[in-house]
Amino acid sequence: MGTTSKEIGSRLQKLLYEKNMSQRELSEIIGVTDVTVSRYVRGERVPKADIATRIAQALGTTTDYILGRDTGDPEISYDRLMRDVERYSGEWTKAQKIALLIQLFD
C-alpha cells in the first residue's frame, strides 16, 4: 500500500520543525502559495513530482523520504549535497540559495 497524503503531511511537518522553517518560508523557496504548502502539510494534497523535488531540496532531504519510499534518516551525504549544488545551483532563485546556506550552517 502506498503512502497516504496524511503521512506525507506528517513528514513535511516534521522536516519543517527540524529545519525551523515556516510554511510561508517554504512556499517562497519552492515557488507556490502558502495555502498550497498548508494543504500538503495537512494531508489534503500531494505535491506533484517537480514540486516534491523542490520541497526535498529546500528541506535537505529526498523525494523518496517525503513520499514514504525511504523511511531512513532524511539527512543527505556531503557527496550528494555537492553533486546537487553543482547540478542545480545555476537554476536556483536567491531564496533557494539562502535556504541552502541556512541548512549548511544550521
Q: DSSP per residue over 13-36, as a string?
A: HHHHHHTT--HHHHHHHHTS-HHH
Whether the per-residue pLDDT at 25 is higher than 80: the answer is yes
Nearest by Cα to 45 from 55, 76, 64: 55
Instruction: Report the C-alpha gap between 79 and 32 in whole angstroms.
Output: 29
Q: What is the mean pLDDT of residues 67-94?
A: 70
According to the model, what pLDDT value does residue 71 have?
61
Percentage of the chain exceeding pLDDT 90: 46
The mean per-residue pLDDT over the stretch 57-79 comes to 76
**Which pLDDT score, from 0 to 100, does residue 65 have?**
87
pLDDT value at residue 80? 67
The structural domains of the chain, with segments of one domain joined by +, span 5-105
Check whether 70 has a pLDDT greater than 90. no
Mean pLDDT of 49-67: 91
Helices 23-30/94-105 angle, 10° precision: 130
- pLDDT bin (cut points 50, 70, 90) of residue 1 is very low
Q: Does position 106 have pLDDT exceeding 80, yes or no? A: no
**Class for the domain spanning 5-105:** mainly alpha
* CA–CA separation, 32 and 30 (whole Å): 6
Dig out the grid coordinates for 78 from the structure.
556531503
pTM, entire model: 0.66
